[in-house]
Structure 1
Amino acid sequence: MTRVTHQMTQRTALANIQTNLKALNTLQSQASSQKRIEKPSDDPAGTAQALRLRSEQRAVAQYQRNLEDGVSWLTTLDTALTTTSSYLRRARDLVVRGANDGAMGPAQREAIATELEGLRGSLLSQANTTYLGRSVFAGTSNAGVAFDAADYSFQGTPGSSVERRVSAAVTVRVDGDGAAVFGEGNDSVFAMLDAIAADLRAGVNTSPFLTQIDARIDKVLTEASTVGARTNQMTATQEANASRRLSLGSDLASVEDVDLAETLVNVQAQEVAYQAALGAAAKALQPTLLDYLR
């Protein structure tokens, strides 16, 4: 038979009080922080899962920033292409008017030539459109402009493109091919408008340029349709990314967060258990030295 001493009873009672107090402290801490996992030892498997989910959240947040930046690039690019298309259509109308030799005198030809030169300058401005200091038609070049205003040479990096990663496996191009849209040097749309203006002043019929203008308009429209498709892709990815962010937040909450109502009930129950342990210990440990001296 095991001998039960007063010291053994005391140690057991104190251990039970300490156990109940520790459990109560844990529940109170969870209730105040509303987190089930406060340190890795609370749930090693849950901690690993939470770390993985947080890593995915950071990646999704970065993709979201890339998407927002990419959409801004594409919006700037689309605006430049739309404006370019309208300028080219206006230039075509002027060329058709200037080709009417019978109705055009020197003054009218000069007026059309002057307006074409103004359109040339406007087109050059659109070709050198920038977003946050970067040309949207120059690829990865940091030259600041896509075309030189003096000789219309392309200042961008040939064959390069600006891309934004929108998922682990997908990147989307956000810039435009300036050399393909506007041409280069003497083959550029700017040089063509200069040539048209010169022919108008010289009294040369400008109707042969209509084919070149139509070809350039087609290139602008082709690029614009490509930009529109990329913008739609970006927008759809943004929506999917937003849904993924919500899903990850929900998954993380299910791993880390506590059920507050349940935790409060458990706190109250543990307080009762703690008070009961104190009461039991008080009764069990009542004997004092005076009790033995009696």
Structure 2
Amino acid sequence: MTTTQIWASSNANIQTSKARLSQLTAQSSSGIAITKPSDDPAASAAIMKVVGQQSAISQYGTNIDDGLGWLGSADTTMSSAENLVRKAKDLAIQAGNSGTASAATREAIATQLEGIRADLLSAANTKYNGRSIFAGTSDASAAFDDAGTYTGPTTTSTATPPVTTAVGSVQRRIGSASTDVVTVAADGLATFGSGDTSVFAQIQTVIDALRDPGYDSDTPSSTTGLTPKQTITAGIDLLSTGLTNISAQHGVVGANYARMTSAKAQNATMATALETQRSGLQDADTTRTLLDLKTQQLAYQTALQVTAQVIQPTLMSFLS
């Protein structure tokens, strides 16, 4: 073998050893065994697939957290709304049982009911991240106007009598399956009603009856045919229905919250499993890498020394 051949072979071996040493050094410092597809094409493809799944799981996790925020806000608000309507009903019962109550007493009850109605309307217009939690997909500033009319999108059936329902619910995707979609905003129309049939109107009806000038004389209303006292009695029943509607929708929110909570736990489990899988494919074995690095350093130094002895002092002497 000629000197040129010896030189070429020795140089190739040294460069290969140096490249491996550089690779092991990088793995040792970064803790990553595969940094580019050429390191291991098959493993790289598997890593890319896992990373894609991790990205999806991360997005679902973000959706779940946002959904829990919506539902948590709705849950708290609806608990407050139930308490307010229950208090309004109790006051209406108190007024109904006090047939001989003075005008001042009735006015005091009416004033309390006005405060309850205002608080209930405020609760119905609760927002989360700048959006009303009871207005569906509407971007209106409030789900209900001052009269208690629902402002969100609705549709009316052709049945007799026609039935109006809310449309366009706010949803969040929590998984890849077609069923992994959860409604996170409460149905404001089903919860509080709208206009003359709303729980706000029911409270207002009792307030108006308590302040009716014909209260003591039991003068029937020309519109309803009921006396103020009869109107209050009817209002108690309507408030009971309103409370039932709020509680029913609260149950829907609670069920969706429970589903979101379960999805959050599953999402965390999946994220951990995927990270373990990615780590097994991509991360370096620290102990083994350090051992290989020491071995390779020794092999590189040995290769330089052997080559220097075989090829007497030339530029090879300065490569180390």
Same fold (TM over 0.5): yes
Q: How does 1:24-43 map to 2 (within 5 A)?
A: 24-43=21-40
Taking the aligned partners of 1:71 and 1:81, their CA distance within structure 2 comes to: 15
Q: Give the 3 Å change call, closer, same or farther, for CA 94–262 of structure 1 in structure 2.
A: same
Task: Identify which of 138, 144, 147 aligns with 2:135.
Answer: 138
Whether 1:157 aligns to 2:153 is yes
Amino acid at match of 2:306: A
What is the Cα deviation at residue 101 of structure 1? 4.4
What is the Cα deviation at residue 253 of structure 1? 0.9
Q: Give the 3 Å change call, closer, same or farther, for CA 23–99 of structure 1 in structure 2.
A: same
Taking the aligned partners of 1:73 and 1:235, their CA distance within structure 2 comes to: 13
Taking the aligned partners of 1:12 and 1:180, their CA distance within structure 2 comes to: 84
Taking the aligned partners of 1:17 and 1:69, their CA distance within structure 2 comes to: 57
Q: How does 1:4-153 map to 2 (within 5 A)?
A: 4-149=1-146, 151-153=147-149
Whether 1:266 aligns to 2:276 is no
Taking the aligned partners of 2:125 and 2:96, their CA distance within structure 1 comes to: 30
RMSD (Å) for aligned C-alpha atoms: 1.5
Amino acid at match of 1:185: G
Q: Would the aligned equivalents of 2:203 and 2:239 in 1 still touch at CA under 8 Å? A: no
Pick the structure with more helix per residue. 1
Q: Which runs of 4+ in 1 moved over 4 A?
A: none
Residues matched between the structures, number:
284
Taking the aligned partners of 1:211 and 1:172, their CA distance within structure 2 comes to: 33
> Structure 2 length normalisation: TM-score?
0.85
Percent identical pairs in the alignment equals 38
Q: Give the 3 Å change call, closer, same or farther, for CA 264–63 of structure 1 in structure 2.
A: same
3-state SS of paired residue (1:160): coil
> Structure 1 length normalisation: TM-score?
0.92
Q: Would the aligned equivalents of 2:106 and 2:211 in 1 still touch at CA under 8 Å? A: yes
Whether 1:198 aligns to 2:218 is no
Question: Could you tell me which residue of structure 1 aligns to residue 278 of structure 2?
Answer: 252
Task: Identify which of 189, 195, 200 aligns with 2:199.
Answer: 189
Question: Could you tell me which residue of structure 2 aligns to residue 275 of structure 1?
Answer: 301
The answer for unaligned runs of 5 or more in structure 2 is 155-166, 216-227, 315-320
Could you tell which deviates more after superposition, 267-276 or 134-143? 267-276
Amino acid at match of 2:269: S
Amino acid at match of 1:75: G
The answer for unaligned runs of 5 or more in structure 1 is 289-294
3-state SS of paired residue (2:172): strand
Q: Would the aligned equivalents of 2:88 and 2:116 in 1 still touch at CA under 8 Å? A: yes
